[in-house]
Amino acid sequence: MRMGAFLICELTCIVVVCISAVAQSQGQVASATGPSSLVGDSPETTLPLAHDVSPVLRRRDIEHAMRKVADWQLARTPNLGSDWTFAVLDVGILAAADTLKAPAYRDAVFRMAQQREWRLGTRTTHADDQAVGQAYLRIFEQRKTLEMIQPARKQFDDLKQQPDDPSAPVWWWCDALFMAPPVWSGLSRVTGDRSYLDYMDREWWITSAKLYDHQEHLFFRDANYLDRKEANGKKLFWLRGNGWVLAGLARVLENMPADYPARDKYLTQYAEMAASLAALQQPDGLWRTGLLDEPAYPLPETSGSALVVYALAWGINHHCLSRAKYAPVVEKAWKGLISHIYEDGRLGSIQPIGEKPDAFRPTSSYVYGVGAFLLAGSELTRYATR
């Protein structure tokens, strides 16, 4: 059985999180490790909510909310990290840089990448340590400097020679489908080498065969949750885990050629999950950490909700989802997300690092949730201009 261990040290409401989750059965690790970083915190005090943000889906209003949240985050963490928690923020900051025409945002990610010499994490097979490659690829697309992708390419060239083992998936937890596949598919797109995409395709469906529920059209977090139930007796599906997968599908599909043989399989899974998640949206526009037992988790969760909004808006923009059916979902969800921005720009109601539904404070804010919010906002600006 894989077991996770998390060490959280609190100092005056600031949590410095060192993530180290170890998978005993295969010697794998469930979450990226790295230098201690200011990943997030959960103040006990009541904070004033923002009154200068609007839920209206107008481009200027979306951009204002994005800038408010991004500026708050970068003031707290001007030196961005590269573990999985920051990798999500990094791609969100880059998306915001493009949307808001804010080169200072892009420069913050570029400094991190230069300091790391464009290297991925030290665990070569682990999805969490590959996630930062998404930021490297985005910068490479804009600057076309080969050194930006050479370390990832060399590492992946070695990995794709390793044999597959369906009984021991390399991406054994569903979060991994956001962390690694967009890097593999993105590297295939920028290099024209389809072997990276073929590797990703094999591994995606090995993981899907283990974790995808064909009745609920949702993913279990990992094999440890296949038989677990909520208090109401229903299956246990974690919002953020499914948000990772749906957003990962959107990012993979964006990288995948229209004529790729397996593309229709991805589109089918994407449409199935989109329909299931849309049906589980709550009256406040957001989703709960436990998808099938909402009363047990009264507080809405914004990181998973933002990932869902990003993926659904992407589907509308790319004509993979019906605008008539899904526009009300994303519009209601954006209104819900905006309601959790605080006066100083903090985005709250983000579940701390974990692997299952759990309780948290309304003020809880973590970098990966901010990254997801910025991805959602960037995609919605394209939606709003249509």
203-248 pLDDT, tens digit per residue, is 999 999 999 999 999 999 999 999 999 999 999 999 999 999 999 9
Pick the catalytic residue: 41, 83, 175, 222?
175
Residue 134 sits at the vertex; the CA angle it makes with 171 and 144, to the nearest 5 degrees, is 140
The gap from C-alpha 109 to its chain's centroid, in whole angstroms, comes to 17
Q: Does residue 378 fall inside a structural domain? A: yes
How many domains are there within the chain? Answer: 1
Q: Does residue 107 fall inside a structural domain? A: yes
3-state secondary structure 275-320: HHHHHCCCCCCCECCECCCHHHCCCCEHHHHHHHHHHHHHHHHCCC
- What is the SS3 assignment for 70? helix
- Whether residue 3 has pLDDT greater than 90: no
Domain range for 339: 50-384
What gap in Å lies between CA 192 and CA 113, rounded to an integer? Answer: 23
Under the banding of pLDDT at 50, 70 and 90, the label for residue 103 is very high
User: What are 354-382's pLDDT values in tens digits?
Assistant: 999 999 999 999 999 999 999 999 999 99
Nearest to 289 by CA among 366, 368, 221, 357: 357
- Whether residue 179 has pLDDT greater than 50: yes
Q: Does residue 32 fall inside a structural domain? A: no
Q: Does residue 13 fall inside a structural domain? A: no
Backbone angles phi, psi at 368, to 5 degrees: -65, -30
Q: Does residue 24 fall inside a structural domain? A: no
Query: How far are the Cα atoms of 56, 86, 184, 271, 307 from residue 132, in angstroms, in the given order?
Result: 32, 8, 12, 27, 17
Lowest mean pLDDT among 15-29, 33-47, 83-97: 15-29
Within 13 Å of residue 236, how many CA atoms lie on the same side as its CB? 17
- Whether residue 142 has pLDDT greater than 90: yes
- pLDDT of 241: 98
For 366, the enclosing helix (H) or strand (E) is strand 365-366
Q: Does residue 98 fall inside a structural domain? A: yes
Q: Is 227 a catalytic residue?
A: no
**In the chain, % of residues over pLDDT 70:** 90
Q: Please report, for the domain that includes residue 95, its CATH number.
A: 1.50.10.10
- Whether residue 72 has pLDDT greater than 60: yes
Q: Does residue 31 fall inside a structural domain? A: no
Q: Does residue 11 fall inside a structural domain? A: no
